[in-house]
Amino acid sequence: MKIDTLLAGLDGVTDGAGGLVPPLRLSVTHAAQPGGPSRGYARSGPDGETLLETILARLDEAASALAFASGASAAQAALALVPPGREVLLEAEGYYEFRGIVQRATAARGLSLRLVEMTDLAAVAAQLSSGRVGMVWAEFPGNPLWQVPDLRRLSALSHGAGALLLVDATAATPHHIRPLTLGADVVLHSATKFLNGHGDLMAGALALADPDARAALVQHRTDTGTILAPFSEWLLLRGLRTFVLRMERASATAARLAVWLADQGLTVHYPGLPDHPQHAIACAQYTNGFGPMLSFRMGTAARADAVVAAVRIFRRATSLGSTESLIERRAATEGPGTRCPADLIRLSIGLEAAEDLIGDLQHALDTINRTKDNPT
């Protein structure tokens, strides 16, 4: 069965009374069932996968999947798979908040952390040659420059050195990349973003190649109390019903915007453009287009700020993956210590008509070009 079909009917769900919508079960504790196992206390989750987890596993072609209260809590759990005393190799040019989160989490667990650009396979191999790396943590694509690591080669290198490969695929989603089919061991999603798609909940997921890793992760989730809340789980299932449609629309619009922005003479970061540095790897690994995220450069921070201030349809907010398109000057969001170029504008594309989004950017660029005789 294709993913579209699976999600449209949520795997043929019923609510137990013939209803075609999943039930919302809020109970924290559960009475002992005569003769049968009880769900017990909610923090531990049920025995086995929930409907949501089964669907997430199918999306990623995984042996098993787990849902968490956020992407960040899924990340903390993933670090529990790293044996004590080993190193974590993290994408240097990736999601900035995770540099801090992974740095603090590894330090607290006595693991050391090294940053490396995952598109530089020679640098990755050099780090792995120590034999001490327990996990390679890649991002597909890297945020906010959307560089594309070669997951096949990264997984071969990682496994050759006895390390697990984790891929944060939040920005590409299973619509565009299935890292486990390319050799990764763990896929991380912030389901807060495109998987839910409506900007109204936080959730995270881990998809696993090895079903035996599940028990340790369930234990970690129970210990840290990071189970996904029932209402968020229910909303996420609802959001997933339209996942494929949303991704098709947002990716097609992003591809149009990328070409349009490049035609304006701007530098554009988008894996689908032929001048993207890893375009060939992107073509070999992406499915269904190149995703709804792109960035472009305005030359100076002031010109980028002026564009962000002039748009009327894009919403000026951080985050990604909702129905409405978002715009930000990324370095301003990341703040001091950012590695992001100061003039970079990041776009998360939503479900508006492409013509309206192009018109909005055209208007913003016209506004700043009119004032270019008095540059700020």
Ligand X SMILES: *Cc1c(COP(=O)(O)O)cnc(C)c1O
List residues near ligand X by CB under 6 A: 70-72, 95, 98, 143, 168, 170-171, 190, 192-193, 202, 204, 320
For ligand X, the closer of residues 70 and 325 by Cβ is 70
Token code pair at residue 193: 């973003």
Please return the burial class of 107, using the count of CB atoms within 10 Å of its CB with bins 0-12, 13-18 and 19+. Answer: exposed
Pick from 173, 333, 314, 330: nearest CA to 243: 173
For ligand X, the closer of residues 202 and 213 by Cβ is 202
Name the residue with tokens 């795997």: 11
CA separation, residue 64 to residues 115, 205, 212, 287 (Å): 29, 11, 9, 22
DSSP 8-state class, residue 269 = E
Token code pair at residue 151: 């997951």
For ligand X, the closer of residues 71 and 174 by Cβ is 71
For ligand X, the closer of residues 276 and 330 by Cβ is 330
Q: What's the closest the beta carbon of residue 77 comes to ligand X, in angstroms?
A: 12
Question: In sequence order, what are the residues at sequence separation of 6 or more whose Cβ sits closer than 8 angstroms to the Cβ of residue 168?
Answer: 75, 91, 94, 95, 98, 137, 138, 139, 140, 187, 188, 189, 190
For ligand X, the closer of residues 247 and 365 by Cβ is 247
For ligand X, the closer of residues 242 and 333 by Cβ is 333
Alpha carbon distance 8, 359 (integer Å): 33
CA separation, residue 294 to residues 55, 217, 327, 347 (Å): 28, 33, 10, 5
Q: What's the closest the beta carbon of residue 269 comes to ligand X, in angstroms?
A: 15
Q: What's the closest the beta carbon of residue 310 comes to ligand X, in angstroms?
A: 26
Q: Report the b/e string of 149-170 with b at 16+ CB within 10 A.
A: bbbbbbbebbeebebbbbbbbb
Q: What's the closest the beta carbon of residue 48 comes to ligand X, in angstroms?
A: 24
Q: What's the closest the beta carbon of residue 190 comes to ligand X, in angstroms?
A: 3
Name the residue with tokens 């100061």: 342
For ligand X, the closer of residues 170 and 295 by Cβ is 170
Q: What's the closest the beta carbon of residue 320 comes to ligand X, in angstroms?
A: 6
Q: What's the closest the beta carbon of residue 11 comes to ligand X, in angstroms?
A: 24
